[in-house]
Amino acid sequence: MLVLGRSQVEALLSMDALIDALAPAMADLSAGRASVPDRVAVEVSERDGLVAAMPGYLPSSGALMTKLLSLFPHNDGVRLPTHQALIVAFDPATGEPAALLDGEAVTAARTGACSALSARLLAREDATVLAVLGTGVQARSHAHAISRVRPLEQIRVAGRDRAKAAALAEELGAALEVEVRAVAGYAEALDGADIAAAATHAVEPVIRRPWLAPGVHITSVGFNPAGREIDDATIAEALVCVESRRAVLSPLFGGSNDLLAPLRDGLITADHLHAELGELVDGSRPGRTTPDQITLYKSVGVAVQDAAATALVLAAAREQSVGEEITLR
């Protein structure tokens, strides 16, 4: 079995290659060519945490894997990641365990990359201003990924902690050939932004309709069982796209409160979910229709994303002879 640590995974996984690979992966998911059951999770109630299992089979990439993911939101205060994960890959011909790799790096990269794919499909071609809401791992990943698909000229960073926002802005400014600045709040970050990337553990919405410019494309990946990132007015007006209708509307631990709550309250119906990303990729559903249309990609994360990323990592590891081989028997 091949074992790969986080730094190795990060070095092996190309963001450009991953964005490209996710397009056919999402099309396979929508067409039923991939096998992705609903995730299951156990609660750790005293820490408001959970551990979830996300298996997936993506035949087109030869990827058979499962991810074990923990979400412990209070880790922010103890200097540990809120999301931690391991991925086990299996040989799709025999079922033999083939690799064990860090899943935290894969989760960060594939989530940002799929948001970038949504921006490639839905954001205006001339989008130049990105608002990043949040200051953690996903905020960083989204800035890097979205900068690969649109000609960004400015990034604004906002979060609960102004010092963390300033630190992330400084880091991104050094890494990307773009003006990056921290701002005082979410409304200021969103004012005039062409793309908004929300990656928070918000209880109250950080994206509100009065703060949004015409034609903005929103990506929302945050998860809090007790909260929401997006207000009802934005959900009701936006062209809403998702990874999987089934996944986003599944019960707690799988679905999105941002959509389940207005659906439950009768503000929208299930038909309001315009398209899955895979349907945009294969052309079976249209994307943006006017420059001023607000578009929204609401993500809950699906295992085909992890499978596509895992396939890229393992192919690169074998080509470059990276990783440690261990024997379990």
284-316 pLDDT per residue, tens = 999 999 999 999 999 999 999 999 999 999 999
Start and end residues for every CATH 3.40.50.720 domain found in the chain: 124-301
The string of pLDDT tens digits covering residues 20-78 is: 999 999 999 999 999 999 888 999 999 888 999 999 999 999 999 999 999 888 887 66
Residue 64 pLDDT: 98
CA 44 to chain centre: 23
- Orientation angle between helical segments 103-122 and 303-320, nearest 10 degrees: 120
CA-CA distance, 275 to 257, in Å (whole number)? 18
Average pLDDT over residues 210-218: 98
pLDDT tens digits for range 122-162:
999 999 999 999 999 999 999 999 999 999 999 999 999 99
Averaged pLDDT of the chain:
95
Q: What is the pLDDT of residue 82?
A: 82
3-state secondary structure of 68: strand
Where in the chain do CATH 3.30.1780.10 domains reside?
2-107+304-325
Nearest to 35 by CA among 310, 312, 302: 302
Structure-block tokens of residue 274: 């315009």
* Structural tokens at position 16: 């450009």
Q: How sure is the predictor about 254, in pLDDT bands with cuts at 50, 70 and 90?
A: confident
- At 226 the pLDDT is 79
pTM of the model: 0.95
Please say whether the structural domain 2-107+304-325 has been given the CATH code 2.20.25.90.
Answer: no
Does residue 257 have a pLDDT over 80?
Answer: yes
The residue whose two tokens read 């902690």 is 161
Q: How many CB atoms lie within 10 A of CB 126?
A: 10
In CATH, what class is 124-301? alpha beta
